[in-house]
A and B are shown apart, each in its own frame.
Chain A
Amino acid sequence: MLDGRTSPATDLRDAARDVLPVGAGMFVLGSSFGLLVVGSGLAWWWAPIFSGIVFAGSAEFLLVALAAAGTPLAAITVTTLLVNGRHAFYGLSFPLHRVRGRVARAYSVFALIDEAYALATSRPAASLTGRRIVAGQVMLQVSWVGGGLVGALAGARFAIDVPALDFVFTALFVVLATDAVRSGREATGPLLAVACALVARLVAPGEMLLVAMALFVAVLLVRYRLTSTGTADA
């Protein structure tokens, strides 16, 4: 290790090696996002606009589904806030201090997706140069936007209609929920969340998502209050 003084070529090669397995997955998932965009009745070019500007994987699937249903912007704001809320915690441990230059730093924050965070925090810090981090983020975005473009164009050109593909979207969130529940290491929170969702479905079917999320946040706040006053070290 040359204590971080690596050449640009080495950094690019390292970044490509970091990104390859994840990028391939993002390309495949991106192309199903492209199919969803066209399948929801949007023009194909909305796929690269969503992927390029929002650049938030799973939240983009949700945004397109909500937009296709004509959801009010207020509900879309709250939903994005809660679905992407986890991103507010990535910055706490993301090695941004290694990235040099205002433009590179700004891009690095903009492109701080789950995969970029996972890659940057799972490698030994000493081997990660700022250039390698940012190059990796650019490659991830190229995979994601490229996949979306290919999927949307294929969907628009060949009128691909595979009913089973509707399930990809559900499966994505089942996978995310499985991961989150497993790493949360407790059953009460998840059960409370499901209860909130079911109550919202019964009470406010038209605004189910908003009511369920608000209810769940309220329940968590009450629970926090109870546990922090009940025991000194909770």
Chain B
Amino acid sequence: MPDAGYLAAVVAVGAGVTLALRAAPFAVMRTLRSSPLAGYLARHLPAGVMLILVVYLLRDLPVDRPLLTLRVLVPVAVTAAVHLWRRNALLSMAAGTAVYAVALAVVP
């Protein structure tokens, strides 16, 4: 287990950065709103950041063992497909996790 001092620092950094981001537009609203670069980043950053995180979470997939890789990629595809279909986050996550549970049982 990581030591308490390090974890407290993680909480402080996470909370500090998040709060600064939430407060920033109220402090510099005019500059931010009129900046075309800010608008550009607001439009293009979110999808890319989330996709990078998904690839990061899948970084240790054993690509040389196709069955073990599919065991994760199929539930990922199911999660995305159910989400495109019903747009209900909890339902998509439940469906994906259920398929993953089945996949774990089928491909040990």
Contact = CB atoms under 8 A, between A and B. Distances in A.
B18 A56 contact: yes
* B interface: dominant SS: helix
Interface residues of A, number: 84
A223 B43 CA distance: 13
Interface residues of B, number: 62
Contact of B55 (A82, A179, A201, A223): A201
A63 B10 contact: yes
Given A67-B7, A88-B32, A91-B29, A173 B19 contact: no
A173 B57 contact: yes
Contacts of A165: 97
A61 B45 CA distance: 20
A83 interface: yes
A86 B42 contact: yes
Contact of B83 (A91, A164, A174, A201): A174
B54 to A, nearest CB: 5
A213 to B, nearest CB: 6
A20 interface: no
Contacts of B83: 174-175, 178-179
B45 A85 contact: yes
B50 A109 contact: no
B71 to A, nearest CB: 10
Interface of B: 1-2, 6-7, 9-11, 13-15, 17-19, 21-26, 29, 32-33, 36-38, 40-59, 72, 75-76, 79-80, 83-84, 89-90, 92-93, 96-98, 100-101, 104
5 contacts: A83-B53, A172-B93, A176-B50, A194-B51, A197-B51
